[in-house]
Amino acid sequence: MDLKKITDDVYACLQEDKGIGCSNSGLVCHGGRSMVIDTFWDLSHTQEMISLYESVWNGMPDRVVNTHVNGDHCFGNQLFADAEIIASRQCAEAFGKTEIPKLMQNLKDQINADNIVIANFARSLADWDFSGIELRAPTITFDKYLEVNIDGLMACLIHVGPAHTAGDIIVHIPEVGVIFAGDVVFRQCTPVGWEGTYKVWLDALDKIIELNPEVIVPGHGPLCGIEGAMELKEYFIYVRQESKVHFDAGISALEAAKNIDIKTYAKWTEPQRLLFNVERAYREFRGDPWNAPIDRVALFSGVNELYQHMKKQND
Ligand SMILES: [Zn+2]
């Protein structure tokens, strides 16, 4: 875990992308106030983040922003017991609905499960400890846009979902040209999407490019400039286009994902998550709604199969 200074007032706490849950966080401290953007997936990782931030802030922040509802961005909220938690209304409404700490801990304990998909998933959670987590839901919500004043420094919170999730927001600090993009930007890391559409996600990336920040703090992966948003856009456009060819030929999403040449994107972490993006394209080609329920077990099972397939190809 690394603390990166972006400007005198703006920092990022980056976790090396070693797979699921390795998210990033941000800190804005100006004058006498500070605000944290996103907490981590468990209490010990969030505590480590706080220890890094303590070297630069004047005291515990009175505001925490959650860019969206996934646990790797909000499970550590309880360590900021006195802070307001700010998120979009859609993010707040989804709190505690799909990702619940106790269920995650149960999953983590199933490394010897007969079901290979569950056992593999449990193994991927080895670095995380979901015990003791009490969800702390947002206390301040907004619909489209909210300006937050950090002792004279403005942070603009912009709802851009449903892209990666329904409640996605980005945090723009115009004065210093920094955007905390949450999981609207995955950098050198294969994106995963839950509720949302290609169109809205691409629009969200265009919005980021249009705001022209000098630095983007992605939800996962290293810091970047707008080239990070552009490259992710190209990935989506390419995957959607390739998916259409396979869809029109009546080929299943999993077989399509096995066939698609992911070119240099193979170097991104977790390339097998391609299936998430092919599945999303297929849902849209079928005309399914943006929030159609996702069969997570079936999807992870396919991702597992695709991983084995990609591994064999590379051997
Ligand atoms: Zn994330």
The CATH number that applies at residue 162 is 3.60.15.10
| Residue at 287 is within a domain | no
Residue 77: pLDDT above 90?
A: yes
Q: What is the DSSP string of 192-243?
A: --SS--HHHHHHHHHHHHHH--SEEEEEESS-B-HHHHHHHHHHHHHHHHHH
Domain that holds residue 98: 2-225
Residue 91 lies in a domain: yes
* Domain-located, residue 290: no
Percent share of the chain, pLDDT over 90: 91
First to last CA, the chain: 32
Q: What is the pLDDT of residues 157-203, one digit of tens each?
A: 999 999 999 999 999 999 999 999 999 999 999 999 999 999 999 99
Q: How far is the CA of 185 from the centre of ligand 1 (A)?
A: 10
**How far is the centre of ligand 1, averaged over its atoms, from the C-alpha of 21 (Å)?**
6
- Give the DSSP letter string of 154-186: EEEEEE--SSSSTT-EEEEEGGGTEEEEEEEEE
Q: Would you place residue 297 in the very low, low, confident or very high pLDDT band (cuts 50, 70, 90)? A: confident
Helix (H, G, I), strand (E, B) or coil at 258: helix
Q: In angstroms, what is the span from residue 248 Cα to ligand 1's centroid?
A: 32
* Calpha distance 30→41 (Å, rounded): 26
Given a cut of 90, whether residue 99 has pLDDT beyond it is: no
Q: Please calculate the CA angle 94-42-109 and round it to the nearest 5 degrees.
A: 95
Over 90: is that where the pLDDT of 142 sits? yes
CA of 273 to the centre of ligand 1 (A): 13
pLDDT bucket at 93, cuts 50 / 70 / 90:
very high
3-state helix, strand, coil in the chain (%, to 5): 40, 20, 40
pLDDT greater than 90 at residue 296 = no
Higher pLDDT, 121 or 75: 75
Residue 269 forms part of a structural domain:
no
Residue 280: inside a domain, yes or no?
A: no
Q: Over range 47-70, report the average pLDDT.
A: 96
- 234 in any annotated domain: no
Residue 92 lies in a domain: yes
Cα of 270 to ligand 1 centre, how many Å?
Answer: 13
Whole-model pTM above 0.75? yes
Q: Please state the domain count of the chain.
A: 1
Residue 305 located in a structural domain = no
